[in-house]
Structure 1
Amino acid sequence: MEYFVERVNDLHVLDIEQLVQESEREGYRFVTRLVTEFEDGTNTFSKPGEGLFCVVTKDAEVVAIGGINESSLTQDRDVARLQRFYVLDKVRRQGVGTMLTQSIIDYAKDHFKEITVRTESAKADAFYRACGFEFDDSASETTHIMRFDDKE
């Protein structure tokens, strides 16, 4: 199957109900929060450097989503946070998550000096390490960090 990463400018035009339902069944509420926050304007991934991305099939089925926000955990505007990242179970371990993560990293390194993320899952820990993040839980809301040395 072929997959394509797309930048999402308007969440309203995407059908992500399958992502919402599956993530809720797995006990994750962050995709639901993505929808709620986009609806109420709390987080539309529209500040400088921010972006929301999805992975779609050639038939336009959304199989993964994730975004990058300016971190609200620090006053440093050069620090970003990977947020609302979810991949449908049926496409996991097929490179979809890596493709999405790499696209977000490629975009973010032009805007930020580091990306942080928080996870509580051993599988997610292994995934983020494989994507180049370093384990770092020195801050309470962060478990992994990727620093860009060439960002001035």
Structure 2
Amino acid sequence: MEEFKVKQLKSLFYIDLAHLVKESKEEGFRFLERLVNDYEDGTNKFNKPGESLYGLFNKEGVLIAIGGLNIDPFSNEEKVGRLRRFYVSKDYRRNGLGKHLLNQIIYDAKNYYKVLVLHTDTEQGDSFYISFGFSKGNLYPNSTHYLNLLNIV
């Protein structure tokens, strides 16, 4: 794992993620394209207290996975964070790298939030998040899964 490094991304303007956007669109996902558009127009820069955008880079410094942490915009409850724009390049899946990235996001989320929510509409996503301890349910608006961070050591 030491050849892979999770970094907090301070600005998307200096990161090459065109290859991930292209790959995700080919798989039928538009959320990385939305990530770039929202970042560029200022809609979501992951820069409020408790928010961050993370990248996972290989030893050559190429971005191979990305994921963000936002204050949940759909919840009226305090201390609810939302996992957003989580994507791992298909060449790097099923070898623990997604877990490596998600571990860092959860670790940081515990400092700000009581609950972490997300929305996924794929079977693979559902299985991945459940294996991580997320519960499936619609307790939170526009969410399919949630994780009580108070129970995480």
| TM-score range relative to shorter protein | over 0.9
Cα distance in 1 between the residues matched to 2:140 and 2:113: 18
Cα distance in 2 between the residues matched to 1:105 and 1:149: 11
Contact 1:56 1:62 in 2 (8 A): yes
Contact 1:70 1:79 in 2 (8 A): yes
Name the residue aligned to 1:66: 67
Q: Superposition pairs for residues 38-53 of structure 1, below 5 Å?
A: 38-53=39-54
Cα distance in 1 between the residues matched to 2:76 and 2:138: 19
Contact 2:75 2:141 in 1 (8 A): no
Name the residue aligned to 2:11: 10
Unaligned 5+ residue runs, structure 2? none
Look up the equivalent residue of 1:69 and give its one-letter code. N
Give the deviation of 1:94 after TM superposition.
1.2
Look up the equivalent residue of 1:15 and give its one-letter code. D
Look up the equivalent residue of 1:131 and give its one-letter code. F
How many correspondences in the alignment?
151
Look up the equivalent residue of 1:148 and give its one-letter code. L
Provide Cα deviations, 1:87-107, integer angstroms capped at 9, x if missing partner: 000000011110111100000
Name the residue aligned to 1:19: 20
Cα distance in 1 between the residues matched to 2:149 and 2:124: 24
What is the Cα-based RMSD across aligned positions, in Å? 1.5
Cα distance in 2 between the residues matched to 1:75 and 1:140: 9
Unaligned 5+ residue runs, structure 1? none
Give the deviation of 1:140 after TM superposition.
4.9
Give the deviation of 1:121 after TM superposition.
0.7
Q: Superposition pairs for residues 2-151 of structure 1, below 5 Å?
A: 2-149=3-150
Give the deviation of 1:150 after TM superposition.
6.3
TM-score by length of 1: 0.95
Cα distance in 1 between the residues matched to 2:151 and 2:123: 30
SS of 1:116's partner is strand
Give the deviation of 1:25 after TM superposition.
0.5
Cα distance in 2 between the residues matched to 1:99 and 1:107: 13
- Summarize the Cα distance change of 1:74–1:98 in structure 2 as closer, same or farther, 3 Å threshold: same
TM-score by length of 2: 0.94
SS of 2:8's partner is strand
- Summarize the Cα distance change of 1:119–1:92 in structure 2 as closer, same or farther, 3 Å threshold: same
Runs of 4+ in 1 over 3 A off after TM superposition: none
